[in-house]
A = this chain, B = another copy of it.
Amino acid sequence: MVVDCANCPLRKLDLFEDLTPDGVTFMRRFKSGELKVDAGTTLLMEGSNSPQLFTVLKGMGLRYKLLPEGDRQVVNFVMPGDFLGLQAGVMGEMKHSVEATTPMVLCVFNRSELWNLFKTEPERAFDLTWSASVEEHFLGDALTSVGQMTALQRIGWGLLRFMTRCEALGLAKGARCPFPYRQQDLADALGLSLVHTNKTLMKLRDKQILSVQDGTLSIMDRDQLSTMSPLEVEQPARRPLI
């Protein structure tokens, strides 16, 4: 029923680093179970202090912050392999919420074991720090995108980046990948209004560069897409999987 860490389907991907047998043994003990949730479930809430940490096995979601007036900033798209809850784990409180956009399956870890991890598994601890750095890197890029680019560039960059992540996870088929989000979600991620996001997507579709339809993102002209934005979309580096 539950996936054994030794056979973790994610770790088979080139994207993720291999684990020593000892590492597997520890992960097995660290893992306290699996969680399946419906689309729409809130996994972690801003300000909360969840006793659980997660690694995404399947499905997609959103990290976001809500503002009092109802505005929302989507901080990142959540995909398989992402580690959730680290902030609560070390700082004692989540600084953003996480919500499932599709049904999801998650590996569950006990926060109480986190300290144990640092004490007995320095490799894993290093990996955690790596995770946090990767996230920080992404946020720096996102900030640059929202701060310095036009709507067309932001959307181009954001969707190309999404496709690139999907490819690294083996979720893409040809130039297509799943995109379970609403235009509103994309707008909130890029600091744009829904209406303008829609019109910009139309423009990209008319130009035969990309299209988002029926939960699928298709990139028709990747070359042109990548020259549109001043911020390069990097190939995701091989990284540890927690």
A positions within 8 Å CB-CB of B: 65, 67-69, 71-73, 75, 86-87, 90-91, 95-96, 115, 118-119, 122-123, 125-126, 128-130, 132-137, 139-144, 146-148, 188, 190-191, 230-231, 237, 239
Contacts and interface: CB of A to CB of B under 8 A. Distances in A.
A48 to B, nearest CB: 14
A148 B91 contact: no
Contact of A91 (B91, B95, B134, B190): B134
A153 to B, nearest CB: 10
**Dominant secondary structure of chain A at its interface with chain B:** helix
Contact of A136 (B135, B146, B188): B135
Contact of A122 (B69, B122, B142): B122
B71 A230 contact: yes
23 contacts: A65-B140, A65-B144, A67-B148, A71-B230, A75-B140, A90-B129, A90-B130, A95-B136, A95-B137, A95-B141, A96-B140, A118-B122, A118-B126, A122-B122, A125-B125, A125-B126, A125-B129, A132-B132, A136-B139, A139-B139, A142-B143, A143-B146, A146-B147
Give 4 closest A-B pairs by Cβ, nearest first: A147-B191, A132-B132, A139-B139, A73-B144
Contacts of A86: 129, 133
A144 B75 CA distance: 8
A123 B114 CA distance: 12
A99 to B, nearest CB: 15
A140 to B, nearest CB: 5
Task: Count copies of this chain in the complex.
Answer: 2
A101 to B, nearest CB: 18
A125 B130 contact: no
A125 B118 contact: yes
Nearest to A67: B230
Nearest to A140: B75
Given A73-B148, A90-B126, A133 B133 contact: no
Contacts of A119: 122
A129 B91 CA distance: 10
A97 to B, nearest CB: 11
Nearest to A117: B122
Contacts of A134: 91
A143 B136 CA distance: 12
